Amino acid sequence: MHRFNSWRTATFLFLILIEAPAVAASGDEFQLIVENDVWSHTDRYYTNGIKFGVGRQLNALREPAEGLLRRLTPEENDRVEFGLFAGQNLYTPKNIKIAAPQPFDRPWAAWLYLGGVAQVAREKSRLDTVEIDLGVVGPAAGGRWVQSGWHNLIGAPQPQGWDNQLPNEPAFLVSYLQKRRYGSDNFDIVPHAGITVGTVMTLGRAGATLRLGQNIGGFGVDTIEPGGVILQNTHSSEEHWKNRSEWFVFLGVDHRLVAHNIFLDGTVFHDSASVDRRTHVYDLSMGLSARFGAVRVSVTRVRRSEEFYTPAGGGGAQFFHSINLGFEL
């Protein structure tokens, strides 16, 4: 029954997004982000994430956007863009070959969601983003069949503990993130700060990214973290992204002060497995991004600090990679 429900939910989200290319126009954008720890030779903790989004500049929604973003009140020449996306995250304990409950390790969990984003770019110096995600945590999120199917395809060991995952529960989050850019087309620094509130996560975050390259535009590369830049050409002039290729290497840090994380604290409305969450968590990232015409490819390596501890010891740091593929019309 769980497999049927998760398949039906995933199919519904897929059908919503698959129609988007049929109505694509100049200024539209498609983004695919895939994250996995396979290149770090592990299969644990945050083990897989995928997010597919479609963005468009819609002047007809300018006034509602100003109401949504409230204090941002964009100026007349600011650009407002909107995006729709679907995504899924998977979390497992360190040893996926154990079928029995593992109370001293991270809970099994999956999160399937549909989201929307509104972004306001103030020329080249500031980007404000509001993201809203609605979805489900639990068996209906499809974690079992996605991981089992992928492992079967690549010949990896089958995960045995999905019977112990967090129970079904509707979940949501609302995120706000602001980025500013200081520098030139060859070198810049992009500090950021934001907040996320919801049953999935509640946290504050701040950090910065250093970039070095050629014809650098926009505000940098993001992972699947809420509030990221899913719409890259929101902040690039048409002349810039159509007529000039660009590339850059980057180093970044993101520090989070976490008050709630459903994947560690357990579900909100049901009793479930949980571990002791660490309040301070940070990511160190490095990578490369390049764009040739309408196609953009970015690769990021992330080191995430220890997120939890148990009576049997800490969870340890984690490495994973994030690949971002974009197509800008």
The domain in which residue 319 lies consists of 2-328
User: Tokens 């949504």 sit at which residue?
Assistant: 68
CATH code at 47?
A: 2.40.128.140
Mean pLDDT of the chain: 84
Sequence-separated (6 or more) residues with CB below 8 Å from residue 82: 55, 56, 57, 58, 61, 65, 116, 117, 118, 119
DSSP state for residue 40 in the 8-state scheme:
G
Per-residue pLDDT at 240: 53
SS3 category, 39 = helix
What is the distance between the alpha carbons of residues 146 and 130, in angstroms, rounded to a whole number? 29
Residue 315 has what pLDDT? Answer: 85
Backbone angles phi, psi at 110, to 5 degrees: -140, 145
Q: In whole angstroms, what is the distance from residue 32 CA to residue 325 CA?
A: 5
Cα dist. 51→13, 269, 324 in Å? 11, 26, 9
pLDDT for 166 equals 97
Exposed, middle or buried by CB within 10 Å (0-12, 13-18, 19+), for 100? exposed
Instruction: Count H helices and E strands in the chain, helices first.
Output: 5, 16
The sign one gets for the Cα dihedral 178, 182, 183, 188 is negative
Per-residue pLDDT in tens (0 to 9) along the chain, 329 residues: 343 344 444 444 444 444 444 444 445 788 899 999 988 888 999 999 999 988 766 554 555 555 555 455 455 556 677 888 899 999 999 999 999 999 999 999 999 999 998 888 776 788 889 999 999 999 999 999 999 998 988 888 999 999 999 999 999 999 999 999 999 989 999 999 999 999 999 999 999 999 999 999 888 888 898 876 666 655 455 555 555 789 999 999 999 999 999 999 999 999 999 999 999 999 999 999 998 888 889 999 999 999 999 888 888 999 999 999 988 76
The two three-digit tokens of residue 29, written as one number: 């954008």
97-143 tens-digit pLDDT: 999 999 999 999 999 999 998 888 776 788 889 999 999 999 999 99
What confidence score (pLDDT) does residue 142 get?
A: 96
Residue with tokens 């926009």: 218
How many angstroms separate the Cα of 105 from the Cα of each of 36, 207, 259, 309? 19, 29, 20, 8
Q: Which of 210, 156, 117, 163 is nearest to 36 (CA)?
A: 156
Reported as a single tens digit per residue, the pLDDT across 243-293 is 578 999 999 999 999 999 999 999 999 999 999 999 999 999 999 999 888
Between the CA atoms of 201, 202, 203 and 209, what dihedral angle is there, to the nearest 10 degrees? 40
How many structural domains are present in the chain? 1
Per-residue pLDDT at 9: 46
The Cα–Cα gap between 5 and 168 comes to: 11
Q: What is the pLDDT of residue 294?
A: 82
DSSP assignment of 51-84: EEEEEEE-GGGHHHHHHHHGGG---TT-EEEEEE
Burial annotation 246-270 (CB, 10 A radius, 16+ → b, else e): bebebebebebebebbbbbbbbeee
Tokens of 178: 């602001």
User: What is the structure's pLDDT at 326?
Assistant: 87
- Rounded to two decimals, the pTM is 0.86
Buried b (16+ CB within 10 A) or exposed e, 179-206: bebeeeeeebebebebbbbbbbbbbebe
State the DSSP string of 176-238. Answer: EEEEE-EE-SSEEEEEEEEEEEESSEEEEEEEEEEEEEES--TT----SSTT--S-GGGGS-H
